[in-house]
Structure 1
Amino acid sequence: MHMRWMDFLAVEAVRPNLRAHDGESLLAELSELLAPGADVPREMLAGALCARERLGTTAMEGGVAIPHCRVEGVRRIVTCVGLHRGGLAFGEPEDGLVRIFVGVVAPPDTAGLHLNVLSRIAALLHAPPLRDALLATLTASEAHALLARAETALHPHPVEPPRRASLRG
């Protein structure tokens, strides 16, 4: 199976105008976007994202944050993207304002794949021109299409996930 971030991001899970006014309402809003695909209650997701964020902020340089968690009952990795036009103070004060939020929820047993998806997202959003272009999009489908094109440009050939070691010597 070829793994791409876009395999885990539905257009419906992209919100070009987040309304949140603080970290908690932001995580609740991302949970709303993740819940339909994750097929678990959004309160459960919000709680897990808040708990993970308390362990250490998921904000990165460049005004990007990738709140993520693993939740019992979730059957596959699901991601969402939210753009906050005004920017939100998220994480440590010196991290500055975050404008691009990517939520990720995974089943408890997918540690390797989960980290693979997180690193793909981080690598893609590391590019300032892409972040600027993303913040210039106005609709979910426009943002989704931009990310899909950028991922294909960065990784023209999908990577094979690591195979499980064979038991045969």
Structure 2
Amino acid sequence: MWRWTDFLDVDAIRPSLESRAPTEVLYELAGLMAPAAGVSQRELALDLRAREHLGSTAMEGGVAVPHCRLARAERIVTCLGIHRGGLAFGAAEDGLVRIFVGLVSPLDTAGLHLNVLARIATLLHEPVLRADLLAASSPVVIRALLVQAEEAHLSPRHDVALGH
């Protein structure tokens, strides 16, 4: 069984994004993912921006998940960045976005791309996890929180509680 955290290297986590504008944050996220995806930061940032123009990836709870599929991407890669001050980003329903998750996938992984997006959205829907991520100070702690949340989500007890 795959996990979102299988596609999230600790090197792709930034506890304090520096960007001051939406296009800058997309470029910063692209920089976190580009080396592992085998594409240029500029190309990836342009594709993330093109996707945002189709519709904002901001969700409730101060989360946005900019994502795209690129023919030249070598594998699925995600990143996570925390914007300490929050950033007006797209059509965020409840104000500023503080948690940004980037995702890039090769073209031939459409189903898995959507599944990873769904897993990210499900996990980050939890207010306690979001609060813990915002309080975390290091990439290692952030990744450990996500691994723990995902393990709890995938545990057999969780499936039984949900009636699966």
TM exceeds 0.5? Answer: yes
Give the Cα separation in 2 of the matches to 1:94 and 1:14.
24
CA contact (8 A) 1:16 1:140 kept: yes
Cα distance in structure 1, aligned partners of 2:69 and 2:48: 9
Structure with the higher helix share, 1 or 2: 2
Distance in 2 separating the partners of 1:156 and 1:93: 31
Q: Distance in 1 between matches of 2:151 and 2:76?
A: 20
Q: Which residue of 2 aligns with 1:162?
A: none
Equivalent position amino acid for 2:101 in 1: V
User: Cα offset for 1:67?
Assistant: 0.2
Cα offset for 1:68? 0.1
Q: Where do 5+ consecutive residues of structure 1 fail to align?
A: 158-169
Q: Secondary structure at the match of 1:102?
A: strand
State the Cα RMSD in Å: 1.0
Q: Deviations over 1:13-50 (max 9, x none)?
A: 00000000010000000000001110110100000000
Partner SS for 1:87: strand
User: What TM-score do you get using the length of structure 1 for normalisation?
Assistant: 0.90
Counterparts in 2 of 1:53 and 1:95: CA distance versus 1, 3 Å: farther
Q: Is residue 39 of structure 1 aligned with residue 45 of structure 2?
A: no
Query: Which whole-Å CA distance do the structure 1 matches of 2:7 and 2:91 have between them?
Result: 28
Is there any run of 5+ residues in structure 2 with no aligned partner, and where?
Answer: 157-164
In the superposition, the TM-score normalised over structure 2's length comes to: 0.93
Q: Which residue pairs with 1:161 in the alignment?
A: none
Q: Distance in 2 between matches of 1:49 and 1:28?
A: 9
Deviations along 1:126-166, one digit per CA (max 9) or x if unpaired, are 00000000000000111011111110011126xxxxxxxxx
Alignment of 1:86-125 (within 5 A): 86-92=85-91, 94-125=93-124
